[in-house]
Amino acid sequence: MIDPIYLDSNATTPVDPAMLDAMLPFLREHFGNPSSNHAYGKVAHDAVEVARGQVAALIGAEPDEIIFTGGGSEASNHAIKGTCLARASEGVHIITTTVEHPATLKPLEFLRKFGAQVTMLPVNRYGMVDPHEVKKAITSRTQLVSVMHSNNEVGTLMPIREIAAICRERGALIHTDCAQSIGKVNVNVKELGVDFLSIAGHKLYAPKGVGALFVRRGGNLEPLIHGAGHEKGRRAGTENVPYIVALGKASEIAMRSLPAATERLRTLRDRLHHKLRAVLGDKLILNGHPEERLPNTLNVNFVGHIGAELLAKVPGVAASTGSACHEGKVNLSQVLAAMGVPPEIGRGAVRLSVGRFTTEDEIDRAAELLVRASERPA
């Protein structure tokens, strides 16, 4: 059996062999607890600190501004809940958008139960929020603005730098979920001006179950997990040394590969788009911003089809859809609905996301398979 062509890198990435090689010694001989005051502990501790420096270098941060977490969702939960808990006496008001990842929306839904006020800002037809809407929504009670750096479904890049400038001017903190952007485009926390930034290892060719949170120096953040004094008291729990080492290596490789990686991904993405469009024409409609989006992400509507049913006809391609089919009804994703995509069009949405190991030959074969399936009656 031939493995399907993998075009779902926004869902997860395979573990790069270089990351596996880096982490294996810490699963075998270097098993010490990084908090232990002996030789085994020192080796583990030093490895964690090297990785901290590698992650920091990738995003233009300082090593002591990096907290290792169990993944991107934990990082976002920590930034959001930790900010609100640290400033709860001031009353809690948070601003976000209607197209955020559940790792942002669910914590906010949770905080509402305890009296938090949450303002959900709309987006335009490309999935982009207007910074002026953020400015209008901020009040003297606003503790945090949380806006993703790039959308996981359609790839649209948000105007984070402009939003961060507004937040600084108005005295609010800003968090950005950067899980999808890291390694695909240049990300620098100093240039962006953010206070918190979330990273997910498994979007960066490291294993699942490891991530990081950037916390700008001086940031007052209540721990999400309480216990012993790991991560300088900011996140309790013995550090997952092998996975942290892998995330560090992933960051080092990503840093070396940019900006060439951006151009390579964009070339593959556009090759796929052009091949589909050349045959399907107006029966293929792009979702997301035509220019300001991730270089690897192509979200398109196959007009006249249901995305899930189309992909079911193409077992040779592994990809995602933008709609869910339940009991004969097709529901648009929250993102496409927020963008105002008509249901009769958006029901055919398919997300195709290329990655580090995608080849031109795979792109060409995938395009052929998808075209063939879309030319059959729905």
pLDDT at 61: 98
Of 174, 66, 152, 137, nearest in space to 102 by CA:
152
* Burial readout 270-300 (b: 16 or more C-beta within 10 A, e: otherwise): ebbbebbbeebeebbbebbbeeebbbbbbbb
- Give every CB contact of residue 182 below 8 A, 6+ residues apart in sequence: 58, 59, 199, 200, 203, 204, 254
What's the CA gap between 182 and 378, in Å, rounded? 37
- In this prediction, residues 208-236 reach a mean pLDDT of 92
Fold classified for 5-12+259-375 = Aspartate Aminotransferase, domain 1 (3.90.1150)
| Consecutive H or E run containing 302 | strand 297-302
Q: Is the pLDDT of residue 325 over 60?
A: no
Domain spans in the chain, listed from the N-terminal domain onward:
5-12+259-375, 17-257
List Cα–Cα distances, 313 to 373, 376, 377, in angstroms: 6, 9, 11
Same fold, 5-12+259-375 and 17-257: no
Of 70-79, 87-96, 115-124, 213-222, which gets the smallest average pLDDT?
A: 87-96
* Burial readout 69-81 (b: 16 or more C-beta within 10 A, e: otherwise): bbbbbbbbbbbbb
Of 49, 288, 290, 86, nearest in space to 175 by CA:
86
- In this prediction, residues 30-43 reach a mean pLDDT of 94
Structure tokens at 81: 């809940």
pLDDT at 327: 46
- Residue 287, strand partner residues: 299
Query: What global pTM score does this model have?
Result: 0.94
Catalytic residues, by residue number, are 325
Indicate the pLDDT class of residue 85, thresholds 50, 70 and 90. confident
Q: Is the pLDDT of residue 326 over 80?
A: no
297: helix, strand or coil: strand
Average pLDDT of the chain is 94
Fold classified for 17-257 = Aspartate Aminotransferase; domain 2 (3.40.640)
Of 302, 272, 307, nearest in space to 375 by CA:
302
